[in-house]
Structure 1
């Protein structure tokens, strides 16, 4: 953890900030290794402090390294305890995470710290998390392996007459049986016309012959997540279904082929988006191409046409998920996870990308 702490200290120094704290779970875990649900990390040039309560005393002792550990003995907030411990040597500038700080929390902070000394920051830790260490990649690979295994098993269960929510429940079960701690998000199973909803929730609808079924699934392994989408055919797909599937498949291939360190993110998005547009379906691809994964299911880098100047860096891990969604007809999405290298990008997910027929 010391390397991560030092990287954050460098970022603070570059911004002329003396201290930083977070209670945002993914950032707490990234900096300290703590996997419990209630913790605070405080970092300055010369101090690394972790605070939790008595429920997590032994867990903190086992998981948190390179930090001074303080366990609450009174029913007070973590931020109040932080102030008690640093009040004799307060930082002149204390960074707060503006995206994760609630108004009520901010109002309590200004009771203890001079408001002019509170500095709003955005994505200080998230930007560090965007590039993954080899240890993080190993955990991501295991989460992805579990996902791939669970997908291959669910194919044996899907059949006409099975409800969408039954398939989703079985996927969640398989993931845990295969070694995951939890699903990474609510599993999406969208059949037939429901496939037109990119984030459609599984319903009581029965899957029927002739449907395309979009399955978006992910799981958590030691805090790190996986994310994959496949669209499968129930029976023989018709001409339009095959045509749209091939367009999405080719769009995904084109974006992967240009992804490498130094390439503008907007160009990776455009490789898929422009191809789909050239095939006449530009109005039906209505979301960004992808997003980073790690301790969060959506984190940096965000792969979209809005990221005009951002560039990929070696070690970034993100999803590549073009799709076409047509109201009243359905949709197709194919999603895989890539890791960026200096030479290009490598696939971390390995489930078949050809159209599967059941």
Structure 2
């Protein structure tokens, strides 16, 4: 399957829904710059601004690389030297309300668009609402990303050995992910956050860090305080492995727990307790139920 062409068609079809949501929010123009949102809406993550009017076709102002964006994007690409080109079109359109990604846009860029004289609103939540609902093609891409995790985890029995360090296990599993077609990195929407594709942790490595997670590990230094450390595995260790697949920009996340050797009684009791919590939460999952209700059941 030509995923690029299929995704281009999908992005064009999203146009009507996108513009309906803009009209409901009272936006005359939306400007999208965040790479992950650019990819979702336009099909390219090149350095650019996607200008979406409430009526008519979107335009992609590309700073770098225009040649590549032309090949990838679903919309007209305009070679631009900087934000001045975008500002000039805004001045011609004379919008009353411009939508910007207020959760990620740099202040300097935000102030530049304020000079147009229009009011500014947030478009980030509208894009997030669009992204919440997946169609059949997106579900297939997510399935492919999950398959990458399965392939990586199937090699755990060959790499999880006494005396091997956490980071060595992570590196071996990373290789399996890349061989399975992983894009190579993860996109984190929150400002300044980053996360490895593989995190392997053992008992003394369970440390909190800046990400909203029970544990993300110590990392290899305080400069990058996320991920596996250098601790070497011992017999009896409970090893926690978090794997993130990524295919054509779509991400899956699979976590599994292993024991090096035989689990002791406390580990078995903890597993049984967590399994019961999972069973109860799963019994609440059905159409129309809020995620918060499932959480409270757990």
**1:216 alignment counterpart:** 242
CA distance in structure 1 between the aligned counterparts of 2:64 and 2:239, rounded to whole angstroms: 47
Other structure's SS at 1:248 match? helix
Q: Which residue of 2 aligns with 1:264?
A: 290
Q: Say whether residues 1:92 and 2:102 are aligned partners.
A: no
Secondary structure of 2:262's match? coil
Specify the SS of the correspondent of 1:20. Answer: strand
Query: Pick from 234, 238, 258: which aligns with 2:264?
Result: 238
Distance 1:118 1:260, change over 3 A: same
5+ residue gaps, structure 1: 273-358
Could you say which residue in structure 2 is the equivalent of 1:170? 172
Aligned to 2:78: 70
CA contact (8 A) 2:205 2:231 kept: no
Match of 1:142 among 141, 144, 151: 144
Counterpart Cα distance in 2 of 1:190 and 1:53: 41
TM-score (norm 2): 0.83
Shift of 1:269: 0.7
Partner residue of 2:70 out of 61, 64, 73: 61
C-alpha distance 146-120 of structure 1, shift in aligned 2 (>3 A): closer
In 1, are the aligned partners of 2:30 and 2:123 still within 8 Å (CA)? no
CA distance in 2, matches of 1:142, 1:178: 9
User: Mapping of 1:103-114 within 5 angstroms?
Assistant: 103-111=107-115, 113-114=116-117
Unmatched tracts of structure 2, length 5 or more = 1-10, 187-194, 209-214, 218-226
Deviations 1:107-159 (A, max 9, x none): 11122x11x52223441101110111111111110011011111111221111
Q: CA deviation at 1:196?
A: 5.9
Which of the two has greater helix per residue?
Answer: 2
- For 2:242 and 2:77, the matched residues in 1 are separated by 40
Equivalent residues of 2:46, 2:65 under 8 A apart = no
Shift of 1:54: 5.1
Q: CA RMSD in A?
A: 1.7
Q: Return structure 1 stretches of 4+ with deviation > 6 angstroms.
A: none
**In 2, Cα distance between equivalents of 1:211 and 1:164:** 11
CA distances 1:179-201 after superposition (whole Å, capped 9, x unpaired): 21214331211112324652112
**Separation in 1 of the partners of 2:57 and 2:85?**
15
Cα contact 1:165–1:202 (8 A) shared by 2: yes
